Structure 1
């Protein structure tokens, strides 16, 4: 049985990955405080002891505000930590999957969807960290996949990590019953996490390189939130719960959608965000 080591193992993606593949691979799921990726010595010891075939490096500080306010801490985790993992992969001949982000394009002036050939221009510390880590890892490893994820969404699951996402955020608005501003000037790909995980093992068989991963989406964030309420049977409460925020990103619309044609050529394809949201709500039979 092949071995997979996960960093950020308690997080939204990796906890669900372990749940899905625990019988298909020998998985070592690591997270703080058990394994601090900024501790190079401990990382090397852990890798040599487990001797993984694959490493999925998902550990990161992803909060944009925190990274902007604490750049040294963010760099230590998001860049130095990634380098420590890459060095250990090289030492143990493990193949590395580096989880990156659509947010490397956060400062680009043109609109998405962006291809892998477009030059990222991040304007947040988190995006800058991820892009720098991408470039440094390529200098260390040949056996490397860089996956730039779109925004993942899903619902709470037992013994799985949770993070803010468009679906759960909108459900939370409905549960609280408090009118909330949602911008109509933002466009992002929105990917159902389970749809990604179900196909993830295919990635081990595609050529190394950088790939954009996730769903296509033609709706803005406000339209998506309206869609979610409709799918929950709350169409008559849209005006009560949502306020269309036309001021946020008014001067420059935020559009960080990704073109995923490259990875689709290898049979890794995703539903459009609209259909994926409907699928998720239907699977969970979620009702308010």
Structure 2
């Protein structure tokens, strides 16, 4: 059995199918980890949701910011943005089944991988101040809210840039929002673990006093797998942790990338957006 981690699909369904064929992926034996953002911006968001859901236990996906945005639009009163490509999902006959499935996904996956040790995947990364065990517990707090009768109210209040700094004493929606922001929106942080939400490009766009989250030292040796940051092009220069950046910008004309979690080998296919 081989387990592969794949970066952000963002509606790149044709590339996803091509990549699985390139890997000779067999759902009877192999497994997929998907780094979130299955949907939005690309032309095949509905097909991506259906494809991954149909894989059943052969695939696990964490929620990304675009996945949560879809849920907020469908069930939390949020509005579509001008560049969104989510209408096909919202108008689909199996819309509710797909949304139920998506809303039950985790925000973080953690597992021991042969030859690699403790491996953690979330969409945007993990704060250096959080151990893998703590990150797993905090992600579970958000998942519990999403699976509760309070989920609609939470989705209405989920997004916002405050609080920008994590504190153990945070409570209520502020605590949950801070966890969501770390796991699905984080790029640059300061030495205290406070997030910047303005810079979204490459490393040279870091605001004064901020650096990529993976450039700060950690107290553990876990391997961290993440997507979200297409401008990194699958690289994490200056990392002071074991990290694997997987978003190689398929929806922007780059590639869709899969990582063999045991061997570290990468396999990619070019974006169809350029063809």
| Higher relative contact order (Cα pairs below 8 Å, separated by 6+ residues) | 2
Q: Same fold (TM over 0.5)?
A: no
TM-score (norm 1): 0.29
Which one has a bigger Cα radius of gyration?
A: 1
Which structure has the highest helix share of the two?
A: 1
